[in-house]
Amino acid sequence: MQVSGQKIVVLGTGGTIAGTSAQAGDNIGYTAAQVGVAQLLAAVPGLQHAAGGAELHAEQVAQIDSKDMDMSVWQTLALRCAQHLQDPAVTGVVITHGTDTLEETAWFLSQVLDVRCKPVVLTCAMRPATALTPDGPQNLLDAMAVAAAQGARGVVSVAAGEIHGPRHVQKVHPYRVHAFSSGEAGPLGWVEEGVVRLVQDWPLAPNPSALNAFKMIANAPLWPRVEIVLNHAGASGAMVDALVRDGVQGIVVACTGNGTLHHALEAALLKAQDVGVRVVRSTRCAQGQVLPKPGDALPDSQGLSPVKARVSLMLDILQGQSA
């Protein structure tokens, strides 16, 4: 079956979904990013049917363990997505990705791509392709169903039968197949026997200034340096001072609770902000977000987790540099 003229592009970046282990059944002692994306697709019966009969086009953008994800891969990935999304024949893009940094890539792409009318669907696996019961094939089938779904749009992640939006999705378990959660927000919906059942709307389109970010990242020679520090019992300002000496441009701090900081760390962050370093407070709490109070000296991340706040701060600094 092929719906004439319709195409779904699958961009491979590596991850456990493309991983192999020497022994079948070894779910942890494997090497990620070994199997090419075309081979991955060829191993899943019924994929084109799941894609509503669309032609599948596979392209290897990277072949890495996503713990090693970096800005240059993000840049290439965004450019490839943008190019394919412009093609009227392309109904959606699926990205195979490692689970470790999937939420960061999802947030990044959601901030730089025009996905108001088409979906970009990230999928992954917790078990390598050589596992006795790998989760990758089902996740790929489900991702195809989402990419082909009527009205689908935005950057979403699909794993273990759930569809997650880019703002809330987080990897919450290092081993379980059901490793992703959107916390209190819940998933956008599910894929059941190839059918998408939504309980929330597709993700909102990013605001126009975020879309401008695409132009910047397309040509960004150098990404701004933004680091994450953590508040904890006995925290000090030493790391922040060292980062400032080292030329850091932005710091996201994973605060305790509702944006609270050890007084020594807070003093160092205020000093950093005074000399021009952008500082953003997020929370290390797994749920909820920092609620701002009048007179807060350090801005909060507006609900973004530390890793996503870092992505947004990098994009913000880039935009500021080009203004």
Angle 40-32-8 from CA coordinates, rounded to 5°: 30
Buried b (16+ CB within 10 A) or exposed e, 148-179: bbeebbbbbbbbbbbbbbbbbbbbeeeeebeb
Tell me how far apart the alpha carbons of residues 316 and 81 are, in angstroms, rounded to a whole number: 21
Are the C-beta atoms of residues 164 and 124 closer than 8 Å to each other?
A: no
* Identity of residue 150: Q
To the nearest whole angstrom, how small is the minimum distance from the Cβ of residue 163 to ligand ASP?
18
User: Is residue 12 at the binding interface for ligand ASP, with CB under 6 A as the rule?
Assistant: no
To the nearest whole angstrom, how small is the minimum distance from the Cβ of residue 41 to ligand ASP?
17
Is 16 a catalytic site residue? yes
Closer residue to ligand ASP (CB): 16 or 231:
16
User: Is residue 203 at the binding interface for ligand ASP, with CB under 6 A as the rule?
Assistant: no
To the nearest whole angstrom, how small is the minimum distance from the Cβ of residue 125 to ligand ASP?
6
User: Is residue 103 at the binding interface for ligand ASP, with CB under 6 A as the rule?
Assistant: no
To the nearest whole angstrom, how small is the minimum distance from the Cβ of residue 68 to ligand ASP?
8
Interacting stretch for ligand ASP, rule CB under 6 A, among 20-28, 98-106, 194-202, 221-229?
98-106
Closer residue to ligand ASP (CB): 15 or 154:
15
* Tokens 């059941």 -> residue: 192
Closer residue to ligand ASP (CB): 32 or 73:
32
User: Is residue 140 at the binding interface for ligand ASP, with CB under 6 A as the rule?
Assistant: no
Quote the DSSP letter at residue 304: -
Q: Catalytic pick from 13, 16, 99, 123? A: 16
Which residues lie across from 92 on neighbouring strands?
8
Q: Which helix (H) or strand (E) holds 123?
A: strand 119-123
Closer residue to ligand ASP (CB): 100 or 162:
100
User: Is residue 67 at the binding interface for ligand ASP, with CB under 6 A as the rule?
Assistant: yes
User: Is residue 105 at the binding interface for ligand ASP, with CB under 6 A as the rule?
Assistant: no
User: Is residue 143 at the binding interface for ligand ASP, with CB under 6 A as the rule?
Assistant: no
Which residues lie across from 300 on neighbouring strands?
281
Residue 200 burial (CB count, 10 A): 13
Tell me how far apart the alpha carbons of residues 309 and 305 are, in angstroms, rounded to a whole number: 6
To the nearest whole angstrom, how small is the minimum distance from the Cβ of residue 64 to ligand ASP?
7
Are the C-beta atoms of residues 251 and 240 closer than 8 Å to each other?
A: yes
**Site of interaction with ligand ASP (CB under 6 A):** 15-16, 32, 65-67, 98-100, 124, 126
> Would you please indicate which residues are annotated as catalytic (active-site) residues?
16
